[in-house]
Each structure stands twice: as C-alpha cells, then as structure tokens.
Amino acid sequence: MDVGLLGQFVVNGMMLGMMYALVAVGFTLFFGVLDVIKFSHGDVLMVGTFAGFSTYLGLTAIGIDNAFVQLVGVLVVSIASMALLGAIIARYLVLPLKSAPPLNTLLVTLMLGTVLRESIRLFYPDGSNPKHFPSLLPTDAWSFGSFTLRADSVILLIGGLLVIIGVNVLINRTRLGLAIRAVAQDEETAKCMGINFKMIVLLTFALGSGVAAFAGVMNGLYYNEINFGMGLLLGVIGFSAAIVGGLGNIYGAILGGFLFAGLQTLGAVALPFASAYKDVFAFAVIIALIAWRPTGLIAEKTSERV
C-alpha cells in the first residue's frame, strides 16, 4: 500500500479513536462512581451537538459571524447544557433507583435515550433530516503526495487530547478527583469521611456528559453533518470501547476507543467492500476480545476504579 494512503488511514483512525475514547470515558465515570450503565449517554451527546448547532444559528441570526466567537459559543453552550442535563439525569432518574436492581436503571436510561432522540426528530425544526454543521475551524490542508493533512483535523486531535489529559489530571491530581475515587472505591467509607456523596455523583455525571458533548461537537466539526440518530451508534461504540478496555478504568476506556477505531480502519483497508463491512469486522473482534478477557484488557492490572 502507498505510504501516503496508509498515513491518511492512520490520521482518520486517530480522529475516530479520539471521539470514541471521549465517549467511553463518560461510561467509565458513571460506572466507576455509581455502578450504573447510562444508556442515554450517546443521545445526550447528540442533544449537546444540536444545542451547539442552535447556538451557531442564533449567533449568526444576530449578526455575529466571527468563526472563533461562534466556535467558543458552540462549545460553551453545548458542554454547559449537557453537564447540566447529566446532573439532572443523575439527580432525578439515577439516584432514586440506586437501591433498585441494576436492570431498572438500564431500562430507564435506555428509554430516556429514545425520548431524547425522538424529541429532536419530532420537535426540532426539520429534525428528521441531517443538518449541515458549520466549518468553524481553519480549512487549510497540506498535501504530501497521496497524504493530505487537514488543519482542522490537527486542531481537533489536539483539543481531544487536551480534554483527555484534563480529565485525567482532574481525577488523579485534584481534591474533587480524590473524592470521586474515594466514592468509587467505597461509598460508605467516603460518606464517613465527610464526602458529600450526592454532590460527587452529580458532578461526575456532569463531567461525563460535558465530555460527551465535546465529542459530539468534534464529530460535527469533522464530518460537517449531524443528525438525530448520530448518538445511537456513537453510544454503542463508546460503551463497547469502555467494556473491552475495562469498565471503570479511564485508561482502559481510552485504549478501547482507539482499539475500536483501529479495527474499523483495518477493516476499511483490508476487507473488500470496506465501507459495508468495517463495523461488522470491528464489532466481531470486540466480541472475541470480551469473551477472551471479560474484565477488560487492563482492568485486572489496577486495583483502582476511575
């Protein structure tokens, strides 16, 4: 294979891996702190992307056409609104079911995802049709033979990396992170030490949902298109990545996200009719990996959750 074309596949795979890792981190945070699977996570991502898109339309309508200001507005509104939505979901849907069987929380969040998805489809103006997401990043590109490096791809990769580093620093180097890890390790002991359990849960869900919103905006900026069903596949992939990496382990979530993207890229390169079979190939390998290592690829190497 041509080296330039191979490099193109690698960059595309890194972009996908970054988005998947960001989604998987949310699943890991939720499970780590409360042992729950929030299946509405992908649809929260989608709603956040539409909130950002609406912000762009609003800024354009009032005459603000500076791309940087629009980008900042899109990110701030998307992340902040989904952080709030994540906290609301935790407060009114997840925490009340804390003592119920885990299946109850799974079903409630699964149904919530359907409500969010169908609400956008039915009530958002022309919501059933794809929307053109604006190009708010530089469109410069550098060509090296058959390899083309886009400026927006570089910026998005750096942005995603900074978010992942930021989450890691917050979890491992701050008092809030220490409180989150304490709750994840032993809820009762954390309460006895004076940690506000409910507040930590709300903040954790807000953090995971805000990170998902960033991933959604990242997806929109990269593909320049969003639709009401985009969160469904991203949610399934993010959950699969978290599982195969080791649910409850941030590093495992990151590894799982890039692994899934690598498998998709490999399928696109190696298989005939690549666009049709790459997802099938990736999910098949993930199934095999989960059967081989049910606890995740690196979960057994650490005693800490989150």
Provide the sign of the torsion angle of the four alpha carbons 279, 290, 206, 178, taken in this order. Answer: negative
Q: Distance (Å, rounded) from C-alpha 53 to C-alpha 75?
A: 10
What pLDDT score was predicted for residue 149?
86
Please classify residue 89 by burial: count the beta carbons closer than 10 Å to its beta carbon, then call 0-12 exposed, 13-18 middle and 19+ buried. Answer: buried
In the DSSP assignment, the letter for residue 124 is S
Q: Where are the domains of the chain?
A: 8-137+148-301
What pLDDT score was predicted for residue 277?
80
What pLDDT score was predicted for residue 141?
86
Mention every residue, 6+ apart, whose C-beta is less than 8 A from residue 58.
Answer: none
- Note if the pTM is more than 0.85: yes
Judge: domain 8-137+148-301, CATH 1.10.3470. Answer: yes
What pLDDT score was predicted for residue 99?
86
Name the one residue in this structure whose structure tokens are 């699943």. 27
What pLDDT score was predicted for residue 81?
98
Which residues of the chain fall below pLDDT 50? 300-303
Q: How many residues are recorded in the chain?
A: 306
Name the one residue in this structure whose structure tokens are 């629009």. 70
Count CB-CB contacts under 10 A for residue 143: 9
What pLDDT score was predicted for residue 1?
56
